[in-house]
Structure 1
Amino acid sequence: MKKPVIEVRGLEMSYGSFVLMRDLNFTIGKGDIFIIMGGSGCGKSTLLKHLVGLKRPAKGDIIYDKVNYWKAEPEEQEQLKRRFGILFQSGALWSSMTLAENVAMPIEQYTKLPPKQIKELVSYKLSLVGLGGFEEFYPSEISGGMKKRAGLARAMALDPDLLFFDEPSAGLDPISARLLDDLIIELSESLGTTVVVVTHELASIFAIGNNSVFLDPDVKTMIASGDPKRLLKESPDPKVINFLTRGEGVRQK
């Protein structure tokens, strides 16, 4: 049994009086690659914002290693946030900064390491994602897949326990998307990092995910959780099967 890293209990997400999702209950274990999945408009990215402290829940609790994030003091919330690495859909790199400067920014902001050590650490992080030697390149000078990997290097800058990805494969060609999937698996296995991914890409879901939650906008709650490959074989819910088979409704044998 994996140690629980994130526990979501009775979570309700809303915008004003409009309830997006309610009664969300799931656990993310240490080392999981956890997929947040469901159709368009179900609240996947909104759930990610709740998990990383960008949006307060209407109801319910999000617990990190027994610390209730939304009931913690601001100082404790900040300490928790330093354990997070976040890769947004666009990569969110500063266009006026080189890749090295982008990756160095959180290290300079949150540590007191000397410049030489920061430079060495930045080169190491970029080499981890296959961008060794690209330190002085600007985002406009590299491909979309490389931008995603540079964004990942920055997300990893402070050696986070938890990595959060919002549609990491969006806008990538199939080969670049597969390379990014392989990189996520490699980082999870080699560093023991827990990864939470918002995606609707089936290839990625089955390639990297070993745990998941499925959000359904019709009933405004989760209708499945667990390993996506197991859900494809065993879920009794036709919505889950249709999603995982691109509407074909044919189970995996």
Structure 2
Amino acid sequence: MTATGIPAAPSAAGRAGAALLAAMVAAQVATGLQPRPILLTSVVVLLLAAAAVAFAAAVHTLPRAAAAFAAAVAAGYAAEWIGTRTGVPFGDYHYTGLLVPQPGGVPVIVALAWGGMGLAAHAAASAAAPASRAARVALGAAALTAWDLFLDPQMIRLGLWVWHEPGPYRGVPLGNFAGWLAVSLLVMVLIDLSLPDPAARSTGLAALYTVMAVMETIGFAVVFDPPDPLVAAAGGICMGVFVLLAWRRRWRK
């Protein structure tokens, strides 16, 4: 908003973010129509990461957005590198060779996903609780972990990684989600510390989180073959809670 109360025109970064988000939606739709969409899956993550950085740059400047994204990517990569070697914090698993490149046995695209969705989850939490760093970090970590209710079952379907001891949630061990929450807390702290005004609201990033929630829910409910109502409901409800929290202040105006 400007000082006169008139909505400010979208910045170049904001317009770029919107274009990248639209491209991501198109790629996500194409992914759901393919039987083995490995390449398109990587394209979706690349567009997700680029859109997240662009939307963050529109609010925080490009250097700050890039720093926050890089911190989240580094934390995600480190967690995956340690996890594939020790089973901590996610459980015993390994990546197959389908996602490349894999420096140190961890696909680069996976680390980029931590960064892109980390920024989106942090923005959703900032919209829900702008006044409290502790609340932003806690809500953001929970919002990012909610996304994994979709991510792990989908990646197992595609054969991108394998659990050594499958668990009860579509083959995913429940301890994996505790590990995701722990790493997500670190990611949220790093993002929060990297931004000059971490409580500043990014409508674009909140929209990115919302779009991911909607697209994943629809995908598991009716698009994927076979559909999976359990994952659609679990992921849709959990991510939906944070979508509602992120937008409730704007809806009340």
TM-score (norm 2): 0.32
- Pair member with larger Rg: 1
Higher share in strand: 1
Higher share in helix: 2
TM-score (norm 1): 0.32
